[in-house]
C-alpha cells in the first residue's frame, strides 16, 4: 500500500508542478508585457524584467490552487485513462485511500507555498516595489508614478518610495487643524530611521498663515510619527502581498488609528485559508475523476479544470469586495465558495464510493 500511495502521489505531484510552471510562466509573461507600458529613459527593460522576476514568488503562491485543481485532473485522469484506477478499485482500494494518497503531496505543496508567502514573497515584493519606484524618480518630488498615501491623526502623508533598508525617499506631509484648515505642507528628500526615531533630511516647509505663507528650509528635522519602520514596510505593499504576521500587525495598527482595515482582514483570511481552499479544489477534482470525467480526454479534463478554476476565482473576487461594501465578514467571503466546492466534492465521491 505504501508503494501504491507513493505512485499515486508522485503522479499527481509532478502533474501539479508541470501545470504550475506553465501557468506561472504565462503570468510572468503577461506581467512583463504590462510593465512595458512604463518603460522610459529611467525605467528600462532590465528594470522591468527584474521587477517581474521579484514578483514571481507571490505569483507562484497565488497560482497554487488553480494549478492543484488542473494538475490533479491531469495526473489522476491519466491513471483513470490507463485503467489503473479501475484496477485499484477492483483490488479493494477504497476511494478514501486514493483521496488520502493524493492529499499527502498536496500537504507538501501547501506547506511550501505558505513558507514562500510568509518569508520570501513579502521580501522580494518590497524589493520590487522599491526598485521600481526609485528607478522612476522616487525622491525628487511628489511626482512619482506610484507611492503610498497614509493618514495619522490630522496629518496626511505621501511617500514616493521605501528603500530595502527601510528608509524613505520623497516624504510629503500635509497637516490640518481642527477646522480642517491646512496649517502647513512640507517635502523631505529623505527620511532616515535611527535610534528608534525618524529624521527628515532636505526639508522644505510651507506654513499657511491667516494672510501670508512662510517658506523655510532645514537640513534635518525630527519627525514624530507612530508608524514604525516595520509597519511602514508593511503599509507600502498591497494587502495580498503581505505576510500573515505583517497583516495581523497592520490590522491592529489601523484599528488603533480608527482607520478602515477591511481590505487587510480580507487579505488575511484569504491567505490563512489558502490551504483549505486548495484542498477543497483538489477534492472537487478527485470527485470529477471518479464521476463525469472518468473516461474523457486529457484536453477536456484540463478545459474543465480551467473553467471551474475561473468560476471559483470569479466567485471569490465578487464576494471579497462585496463583504467590504455590504459589511459582512470577509471570512464568509472566503469560506462560502470553498464550502460549496467541498460539499460538491464530498457528495460526488460518496456517490462514486
pLDDT digits (tens, 9 = 90+) for 8-39: 989 999 999 999 999 999 999 999 999 988 88
Q: What's the whole-number mean pLDDT along residues 166-194?
A: 86
Q: Is the pLDDT of residue 140 over 90?
A: no
Do 14 and 108 fall within a single domain? yes
Mean pLDDT, residues 2-10: 87
Q: Are residues 267 and 131 in the same domain?
A: yes
pLDDT score at 337:
92
Handedness of CA 117, 118, 121, 122 (dihedral sign): positive
Region 38-42: mean pLDDT is 81
At 155, list the grid cell: 496629518
Please give the pLDDT value at position 145: 58
Hey, is 41 helix, strand or coil? coil
The stretch 161-179 carries a mean pLDDT of 82
Contact yes or no for 244/118 (Cβ under 8 A):
yes
If asked whether residues 286 and 229 sit together in one domain, one would say no
Question: What range defines the domain where residue 230 resides?
Answer: 148-235
Cβ count within 10 A of residue 152? 15
63, 30: one domain: yes
Mean pLDDT of the chain, nearest integer? 86
Q: Do 129 and 45 belong together in one domain?
A: yes
Angle at 286 between CA 281 and CA 287, to 5 degrees: 95
Which DSSP helix (H) or strand (E) runs through 187?
strand 182-194
Contact at 8 Å (CB) between 282 and 106? Answer: yes
Confidence of residue 146 (pLDDT cuts 50, 70, 90): low
Residue at 142 is within a domain: no
Q: What is the pTM of this model?
A: 0.82
> Quick one: 41 exposed, middle or buried, by C-beta within 10 A (0-12, 13-18, 19+)?
exposed
Domain-embedded: residue 285: yes
Domain boundary among 235, 252, 271: 235
Average confidence (pLDDT) over 158-179: 82
pLDDT at 271: 93
Helix (H) or strand (E) holding 201: strand 197-208
Domain finish residue from 235, 255, 279: 235
Q: Is the domain of 124 the same as that of 172?
A: no
Residues 59 and 130 in one domain: yes
Report the pLDDT value the prediction gives residue 52, as an integer from 0 to 100. 94
C-alpha cell recorded at residue 115 = 513558507
User: Is residue 308 in a domain?
Assistant: yes
Confidence of residue 294 (pLDDT cuts 50, 70, 90): confident
Q: What are the pLDDT digits (tens) for 45-62? A: 999 999 999 999 999 999
Nearest CA to 273 out of 336, 327, 347 is that of 336
Do 164 and 177 touch, CB atoms closer than 8 A? no
Q: Are residues 211 and 162 in the same domain?
A: yes
User: Residue 94 has what pLDDT?
Assistant: 84
Same domain membership, residue 191 and residue 93: no
Are 180 and 271 part of one and the same domain?
A: no
Rounded average pLDDT over 186-201: 87
pLDDT for the residue numbered 142: 55
Q: 3-state class of 316 per DSSP?
A: helix
Same domain, 27 and 172: no
Q: What is the pLDDT of residue 1?
A: 64
Count how many residues are written for the chain: 353
Which of 44-48, 110-114, 142-146, 269-273 has the least mean pLDDT? 142-146
Task: Give pLDDT, residue 24.
Answer: 95
Least confident of 119-123, 152-156, 337-341: 152-156
Is pLDDT above 90 for 78? Answer: no
User: How many domains does the chain fold into?
Assistant: 2
Tell me, yes or no, whether 257 lies in a domain. Answer: no
Amino acid at each position: 500500500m505504501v508503494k501504491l500511495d507513493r505512485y499515486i502521489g508522485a503522479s499527481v505531484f509532478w502533474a501539479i508542478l508541470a501545470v504550475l510552471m506553465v501557468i506561472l510562466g504565462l503570468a510572468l509573461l503577461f506581467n512583463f508585457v504590462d510593465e512595458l507600458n512604463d518603460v522610459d529613459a529611467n525605467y528600462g527593460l532590465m528594470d522591468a524584467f527584474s521587477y517581474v522576476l521579484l514578483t514571481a514568488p507571490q505569483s507562484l503562491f497565488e497560482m497554487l490552487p488553480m494549478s492543484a485543481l488542473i494538475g490533479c485532473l491531469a495526473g489522476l485522469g491519466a491513471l483513470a485513462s490507463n485503467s489503473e484506477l479501475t484496477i485499484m478499485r477492483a483490488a479493494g482500494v477504497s476511494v478514501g485511500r486514493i483521496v488520502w494518497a493524493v492529499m499527502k503531496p498536496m500537504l507538501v505543496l501547501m506547506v511550501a507555498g505558505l513558507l514562500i508567502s510568509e518569508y520570501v514573497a513579502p521580501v522580494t515584493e518590497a524589493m520590487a516595489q522599491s526598485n521600481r519606484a526609485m528607478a522612476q524618480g522616487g525622491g525628487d518630488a511628489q511626482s512619482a508614478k506610484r507611492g503610498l498615501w497614509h493618514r495619522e491623526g490630522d496629518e496626511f502623508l505621501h511617500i514616493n518610495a521605501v528603500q530595502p533598508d527601510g528608509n524613505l525617499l520623497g516624504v510629503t506631509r500635509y497637516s490640518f487643524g481642527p477646522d480642517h484648515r491646512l496649517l502647513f505642507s512640507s517635502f523631505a528628500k529623505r527620511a532616515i530611521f535611527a535610534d528608534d526615531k525618524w529624521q527628515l533630511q532636505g526639508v522644505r516647509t510651507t506654513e499657511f498663515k491667516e494672510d501670508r505663507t512662510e517658506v523655510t528650509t532645514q537640513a534635518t528635522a525630527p519627525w514624530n510619527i507612530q508608524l514604525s519602520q516595520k509597519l511602514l514596510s508593511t503599509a507600502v505593499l498591497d494587502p495580498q502581498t503581505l505576510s500573515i504576521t505583517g497583516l495581523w500587525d497592520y490590522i491592529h495598527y489601523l484599528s488603533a488609528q480608527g482607520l478602515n482595515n477591511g481590505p487587510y482582514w480580507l487579505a488575511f483570511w484569504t491567505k490563512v485559508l489558502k490551504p483549505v481552499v486548495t484542498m477543497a479544489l483538489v477534492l472537487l477534482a478527485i470527485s470529477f475523476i471518479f464521476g463525469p470525467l472518468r473516461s474523457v480526454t486529457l484536453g477536456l479534463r484540463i478545459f474543465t479544470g480551467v473553467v471551474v478554476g475561473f468560476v471559483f476565482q470569479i466567485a471569490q473576487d465578487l464576494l471579497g469586495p462585496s463583504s467590504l461594501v455590504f459589511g459582512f465578514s470577509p471570512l464568509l467571503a472566503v469560506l462560502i465558495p470553498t464550502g460549496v466546492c467541498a460539499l460538491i466534492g464530498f457528495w460526488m465521491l460518496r456517490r462514486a464510493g
